Amino acid sequence: MSEPISDRLIILDTETTGLEVSEGHRIIEVGAVELVERRLTGNHFHHYLNPEREVEQGALEVHGITNEFLADKPRFYDIMQDFLNYIQGATLVIHNAAFDVGFLESELRLAGCEPPLISHFAGVLDTLKLAREMHPGQRNTLDALCRRYDIDNSNRALHGALLDSEILAEVYLAMTGGQESLSLSVNESRPELRVFQSGQRQDTPVLMANDDELNAHNERLQAIAKACGGESLWQKLVG
C-alpha cells in the first residue's frame, strides 16, 4: 500500500473466456462497486460483454457464462467510455491485479484507446499482494481470505464479477481495519442512516449503540483478533 490511495475506491473484478490474454482471450464480464469513506455508495458498474470468440470449457466451469448468453451483449468498445468515466481518478482495488489489468489494457488496446493504460485513468491496489505481505506463507485466495476474516461467501457457487467485487470489498475492509458498512438497505425505523447512491449522506444526529450492536462489535473484534493472532488495536486502546 505504498502508492497514494484515492478517497474513492473502486473494487473491481472481471471474468474472461480463458486464462491467458496472450492467447487472445477476452473479457466477458466486468463488475465493480464504489467505496467512499469506507462505505458502499450504491454506484456500481456491471456489464456482460460479447467477446467475439468462444469461451473455453475450463473457464465455463468456473463462471458458468455461456457463449449463447453472451451473443447479444455489447462489446467492450461499446461500454469503454462509460467504464473509463467510472474509474477516472479512483483507486482500483483488485485481487491479483496483474490478471485483470492485463485483460483490461488488452481490451483498451483493441478498442483503440490511447494510451491503453489503466494507470492513465486510475491507481491500482492489489489485495493479493497486500494479503501476501500480511499473511506470508499462507493461502491468500479470495475464498481463503473469506475464511480467515469470517466473511460469508456461501453464495459464491460460481465466480461472478459483480458478486466477487462485493465480497472483495468486505475482505478489503476487514484486512485494512476500521469501521465498515456494506449494507445499502434502509432501516425504516432509522431513515437518517440512509446512504444515497451519489455518496452524499444527510447530516445525522449522534446515535448511541444498542446492546445488540455492541455485542456484534465485540464479536467482530474477537474475529479480527483471532485472524491476526493477537489483540486488535481497538482492544488495546480500550482494554
Q: Provide the domain count of the chain.
A: 2
One domain for residues 157 and 43: yes
- At 201, the pLDDT band (50, 70, 90 cuts) reads very low
One domain for residues 120 and 226: no
Is 228's pLDDT higher than 50?
yes
Q: Please, which residues have CB within 8 angstroms of residue 177's CB and are 6 or more apart in sequence?
A: 224, 232, 233
Does residue 187 sit within a domain?
no
The whole-number pLDDT of residue 193 equals 32
* Residue of 47, 95, 135, 159 with catalytic role: 159
Does residue 194 sit within a domain?
no
Is 130's pLDDT higher than 60?
yes
Task: Give the predicted TM-score (pTM) of the model.
Answer: 0.74
Share of the chain above pLDDT 70, in %: 72
Helix (H, G, I), strand (E, B) or coil at 10: strand
Whole domain around residue 90: which residue ranges?
8-176
pLDDT, the chain, mean: 82
The whole-number pLDDT of residue 189 equals 33
- At 128, the pLDDT band (50, 70, 90 cuts) reads very high
- CATH label of the domain that carries residue 130: 3.30.420.10
State the average pLDDT over residues 118-127.
98
The whole-number pLDDT of residue 155 equals 73
The whole-number pLDDT of residue 218 equals 67
Other residues' Cβ atoms within 10 Å of the Cβ of residue 80:
18
Q: Which residues of 156-174 are buried (b: 16+ CB within 10 A; e: fewer)?
A: eeebbbbbbbbbbbbbbbb
- 172 vs 178, which has greater pLDDT? 172
Residue 187 gets the label, from left (phi > 0), alpha (psi -120 to 50) or beta, of beta
Does residue 184 sit within a domain?
no
Q: Is 95 a catalytic residue?
A: no
Q: How far apart are CA 104 and CA 121, in angstroms?
A: 12
Does residue 29 sit within a domain?
yes
One domain for residues 60 and 156: yes
Amino acid at site 136: P
